[in-house]
Amino acid sequence: MTQAMKRRLAVSVGLAIVVSAALVLGSSCTVEQPQPNLTGQDIRLTFIHTSDIHSRLFPYNFVPNVFDKADGLQQAPYGGIAKIATIAKRIRASSNRTLWLDSGDCFQGAPVFNLFKGEAEMRALSLAGMDAAVLGNHEFDLGSKNLFDKIDNWATFPVLAANYAWDDPPAGAVNPDGRSLRDVIPPFVMYDVKGIKVAVIGMGNTSTITSIFEGGNSLGFRPISDEAALSNWVRILRPVSDVIVVVSHLGLEEDENLTASQVNDPNQEFSQDTLAGVDLILGGHLHIVTDPPKLIPNDAEGHNTILVHSGAFAKFVGRLDVVVRVGDNNADPARRSRITSFTFDNIPVDSKLCSGVPCITEDPDVANLMWPYSVKINQEIDLNGVFAYIDAPEGEKVTRTDASGGDSQLGNMVARSMQLQDGVEAEFAITNSLGVRADFERGPLTIEQMFNVFPFENSITVMYLSGAEVQETLDFVARRSSSRGCRTQAQVSGIAFDMVCNGVCGPNGERGACAKNIVIGDDCRLNDATGMVNPDGPINTGKCAPLVPTSLYRVAVNDYIASGGSGFEVLKRNTSKQDTGISLRDGLRVFLNGRSPCTTQMDDTQTPPVPVTERYGSISCLDATIERHDGRIRPVFE
């Protein structure tokens, strides 16, 4: 019997025992052992936490943002599952009781997923010693059958989701023997950690998998109310558990540049009654770090639920040490076990040196497992290949956000590349800002950097929108942006508008957020007197044509927002969409390759400086004038 089969058998047995109201001693426990009597004692328990690994199984290069640096990330390259395994083993060696829990989205975001479709992730995390994970939305990127196959064949740890109602699949639709995701994804798992009984409940994402709200969807499940699902399982598990942990992939959207103070974590929206039995939430999907962890009041007696986020893209491993005061009756709120204190350390996964050698070495077993995958990737993709050069002044770069809160240079490039792609030739383009995940750093632009900018496989989709639908879409962008500091949540080309974050937007003078002065065209804020575009100036209606509500427009969007992702319900309702299958990553690369070639530009990011063409061949050079911020989206407060 394989380890995966043993794990599934143990989970099934555990579920049956709980349903019959008996005590579950552990999903991985196959031999009964005498249990220590810990009542009245203070016991240390250590949680290892990872989240949103997004296929970063190999170390990779990027420039850390200010929040990464503040949390200790120093030396490139970063990430890699072999280094994460080393950190996990060091933590286990230093603590007598440990659990490694992951908050989902181990799939999608690096070439290893493109080539091997999740096999490498499941195998590596299993070998590294992960104890349990919640199901993330990106685990569904290649469909239910692929996810079922990868869990069933390779995962030796339980993958959890308590807030999904599984549909009965058609016979043979997923597997010839009738088995499907419902057979390999339990709602919870129980562990007996040397006498401490820990219940781990998984809460999967529902906000970004829009199709699950439709009956008969292809994913094979429908959402259950998060609060109802959690309340039901807490009610069952609290009497037989010393610690209840929610490992969560709830969230509104991803953005690794958001700090804990800038997001409204949906985990905090649970009622006090629901959280009264929950000791700890290990969260993901928001790509943030909560350091220190947040405390959420959970009862009238002043007790709290600890909320921890440990970041994303394999940049950190969270270590949470808690002290559990073991009670004598977990069915009685006044006498149950409780966490009385904790400490948290978010450990950077980088290449910093200690006495001339790496502080974090690669675990040899995991490194050996990953070696054949690395060889195949290098045969298929030249990640270090340079295809363009960012000719920015020292200390500057091409950014995905602009200080104004409006359109950005990189966002403009992405939208323009979608609009002008061969076979697309749209009148204008719209893409979501959070689909662009990193800046273009000064110097040579590599294939690996393109994966940093576009870690997900979003593709260009063509659709026909009426002017009224365009207005409704941009009104939504304004409302969404208004709730996020009036920083645009979309990037565009071929269109311009005033993004009113607070103004008169209703027919009867109601105030709110909306889009005004929408026009179609380019350089729409051209000043006729100076011949220059003023990003802060008014719309030039002589240069660009006003949006006509009854007209039909050919528009380029990405497949994610076309299906309603990030709340773009207007696009979801439209039935004219046609997915080109061309990834945003490839579309932008084609666009950049068509820019002016480098001539005498010197590459001073290397030593000694030499002409770019001498070092990298004939490639394009990009400067601050290419699709620069031009006010095509102008934030306005009336």
pLDDT tens sequence across 417-450: 999 999 999 999 999 999 999 999 999 999 999 9
pLDDT value at residue 32: 58
CA distance 65 to 35: 47
Cis peptide before 64 (omega within 30 of 0): no
- Residues 323, 342: Cα–Cα separation, whole Å: 6
Q: Classify domain 3-23+42-169+179-372 at the CATH superfamily level.
A: Metallo-dependent phosphatases (3.60.21.10)
Neighbours of 39 (CB within 10 A): 13
Task: Establish whether the linkage from the previous residue to 608 is cis, with ω within 30° of 0.
Answer: yes
**Strand 42-50 with 98-102, pairing:** parallel
Q: CA 406, 412, 415, 417: dihedral to nearest 10 degrees?
A: 180
| Residue 442 confidence (pLDDT) | 92
Residue 7 has pLDDT above 50, yes or no: no
Nearest to 349 by CA among 338, 337, 339, 362: 362
Angle at 602 between CA 454 and CA 532, to 5 degrees: 70
pLDDT given at position 168? 57
Which of 263, 249, 255 minimizes the C-alpha distance to 489? 255
**Does residue 323 contact residue 43 with C-beta atoms inside 8 Å?**
yes
Tell me the backbone φ, ψ of residue 151, rounded to 5 degrees. Answer: -65, -45
CB atoms within 10 A of CB 210: 18
In this predicted structure, what is the pLDDT of residue 205?
87
Average pLDDT over residues 295-318: 92
Mean pLDDT of the residues in the chain = 90
pLDDT (mean) for 157-186:
78
Give me 567's structure tokens.
Answer: 């709340």
Q: Is the pLDDT of residue 185 over 90?
A: yes
* Residue-wise pLDDT tens digits, 133-164: 999 999 999 988 999 999 999 999 999 999 99
Residue 178 has pLDDT above 80, yes or no: no
pLDDT in tens, 59-81: 999 989 888 999 999 999 999 99
Enclosing H/E stretch for 188? strand 188-193
Could you tell me if 558 and 460 are in contact, meaning their C-beta atoms sit under 8 angstroms apart? yes
Task: Kindly indicate the confidence band of residue 30, based on its pLDDT and cuts at 50, 70 and 90.
Answer: very low
* Separation between Cα atoms, residue 577 and residue 559, nearest integer Å: 9
As a whole number, mean pLDDT of residues 167-194 equals: 78
User: Does the pLDDT of residue 257 top 80, yes or no?
Assistant: no
Count other Cβ atoms within 10 Å, centred on residue 67.
17
The mean pLDDT of 519-523, rounded to a whole number, is: 97
Confidence (pLDDT) at 23? 40
To the question of domain 382-637 being in CATH 1.10.569.10, the answer is no
Among the residue ranges 123-137, 160-174, 350-364, 365-379, the one predicted with the least confidence is 160-174
Of the candidate ranges 31-40, 104-113, 267-276, 277-286, the one whose mean pLDDT is the lowest: 31-40
φ and ψ at residue 583, rounded to 5 degrees: -70, 150
Query: What is the pairing mode between strands 428-432 and 357-358?
Result: unpaired
pLDDT reported for residue 555: 98
The residue ranges of every structural domain in the chain are 3-23+42-169+179-372, 382-637
Instruction: Report pLDDT digits (tens) over 540-551.
Output: 999 999 999 999
| Angstrom distances, CA of residue 564 to CA of 131, 190, 212, 473, 617 | 34, 36, 12, 11, 42
**pLDDT value, residue 172:** 46
Residue 90: pLDDT above 60? yes
Q: Which amino acid is at 606?
A: Q
Answer yes or no: is pLDDT of 215 > 60: no
Could you tell me the end-to-end alpha-carbon distance of the chain, in angstroms, rounded to an integer? 68
